[in-house]
Amino acid sequence: MRTCIYTAIAIVLLSLVSAGTVHAQTMPKVSIEIGEQKDASDLSSTLQIVILLTVLTLAPSILIMVSSFIRFVIVMSFLRNAMGIQQMPPNQLLVGLALILTFFVMSPVISSSYTEGIKPYIDKKIDGEEAYQKAVAPFRVFMLANTREKDLALFVDIAKIERPETADDIPLQVLVPGFVISELRTAFQIAFVLFIPFLVIDMVVASVLMSMGMMMLPPIIVSLPFKILLFVLVDGWYLLVKSLVQSFQT
């Protein structure tokens, strides 16, 4: 009985000590202040942070829609399917290579956009609207150079706007989707050309196996080493990357 009493007293003391320790700890204070603007730069700094966070959130979509990433990633995915290797190279490697090539192709555009629009705005030499127009202008030139007139006309008709007289009159909501479907068309054309030599190898291997009476052996197993050998002998990655990079008009 005495042991139980001592145990209960010890538990109560430990509880009091723990409670005191918890109450003694200070919690961080987080507050949002809404008051009168003291400095003219306060508002611009706040807007800059909001705009920066918004751009970072939408950065993947912006990268896909207004850059060469679409063509790179689609062609490389078709190449893997044409060779019949579903897991190699892995998706992470293909996307990473497409991103590196995208930065390589788009680096002059990004540099021009930063020099003409973003940097003067940071230095407070131009206002936000002018900075936006100058920052977007290099991307407009790049997209216009790689977009078919037919695709632009399609979205002009869908949007029911007047026919633009000059390239500068084309709004972004028309230019961006026109550029995207033009890139899809070009990527599928390149993929068709890539499929032809691998398809010939599959047909030859299938014919040889049927003539030998080996109909139970899947032709893909036999043709895969020959397709890999062909791709290595012609230095396929060099030719593919060279053709893709040179296919863009900058």
Is residue 14 situated within a structural domain? no
Per-residue pLDDT of the chain (250 residues; tens, 9 = 90+): 544 444 444 444 444 444 444 444 455 554 445 455 555 545 556 666 777 677 677 777 777 788 888 888 888 888 888 877 777 778 888 888 888 888 888 888 888 887 877 787 777 777 777 777 887 888 888 888 888 888 888 888 887 877 777 777 778 788 888 888 988 898 898 888 888 888 888 888 778 777 777 777 676 777 788 888 888 888 888 888 888 888 876 6
Is residue 213 situated within a structural domain? no
pTM here? 0.68
Is residue 96 situated within a structural domain? yes
Is residue 74 situated within a structural domain? yes
Is residue 107 situated within a structural domain? yes
Q: Which of 200, 204, 205, 198 shows the shortest CA–CA distance to 219?
A: 205
What per-residue confidence (pLDDT) applies to 26?
52
Give phi and psi for 150, each to the nearest 5. -60, -40
User: How many separate domains does the chain show?
Assistant: 1
For residue 124, the surrounding DSSP H or E stretch is none
Domain ranges, residue 177 = 43-191
The total number of residues shown for the chain amounts to: 250
Is residue 180 situated within a structural domain? yes
What per-residue confidence (pLDDT) applies to 167?
72
